Amino acid sequence: MQNVLNSVKGTALGVAEYLTPVLKESKFRETGVLTPEEFIAAGDHLTHHCPTWSWAVGDESKIKAYLPKDKQFLITRNVPCRRRCKQIEFVGEENLVEENDPDGGWVETHHYNPDDAGSSGLEEKVCEMKLDSSRIEDEPAADMDDPRNLEDGDANADDEDDEDGAALDMDEFEESGLLETVDPSNALLPAPNEKPKPVVSSEVEGDSVVRTRTYDLHITYDKYYQTPRLWVIGYDENRKLLSVEQMYDDVSQDHAKKTVTMETHPHLPGPNMASVHPCKHADIMKKIIQTVEEGGGELGVHMYLIIFLKFVQTVIPTIEYDFTQNFNITNHK
């Protein structure tokens, strides 16, 4: 049902964007929105300080006349995503510890219920280690003050030395032909008549190898909301396109299918891409501008995309894209 609503809403917004006139006058400080010219300036600043980002053209039939032909949207490719959002988002009950503490106690979020049936499995895996008392009683400890024990030790050492024998002469070893028995350079290669073993997915075998996904990220200009808009599309370790549900695994569960929806890219054909809806972007940026000004600073419009990428990371926290330029919100000039 949510997907149907998102589809209808997306269609309506597409019509509204088409009918919305292009913003000509800057309202960045008043409302947190951008003109197309300001979007280009912020994009140039991003590509200069974060070289992994670059401008792209997209499909010729979808070029927007209010943007330069060679600067239709921004793109960064092959961004690693090593973990799923569920791995860093804890969902469970909180346990209040030390309730009588005058400071209010502290909360233990990761606790285990002793009555939980699952805990018995963990206990079964703990092996109890015991010493064999019968062997201890039958075998008295050696008395190291007894000279016979010392003599036996020396004899054993001599026996070990005898077993080693004299070192082989390398010339004799080479002449014997043993050196050619195993060629290290070919040791790992299959024999000429040997059939290659079928490749089995490690995920089927249940190993713990981390499978790194990668994402391509796009930033477009939304004419209706007059703000940047982030798009992501993911691939598995074999560069195979992820399914919709797999991509939602890499989105904060508070935002999946709500703030982040699957929609048609404004500049590219092909499958739908996950997009962070821009309806709140201007409000967030306006609050940031006010905070900077209250601290005695001034925020330039060229910093827009640097800040934009910082606050949208809360939506896709495990996708490690580049926004390397530092920004201090309390004192920026």
By annotation, the residues acting in catalysis are 279
H or E stretch covering 106:
strand 106-108
DSSP letter string, 143-212: -TTSHHHHHHHHHHHHHHHHHH-SPPPHHHHHHTTGGGTS-GGGTTSPPTTPPPPPP--HHHHT------
Binning the chain into helix, strand and coil, the percentages to the nearest 5 are 40, 15, 50
- 127: phi then psi, degrees, rounded to nearest 5: -85, 135
Calpha distance 256→262 (Å, rounded): 10
* Contact assessment for residue 34 and residue 221, using Cβ atoms and an 8 Å cutoff: yes
- Give the β-pairing of 213-222 and 227-235: antiparallel
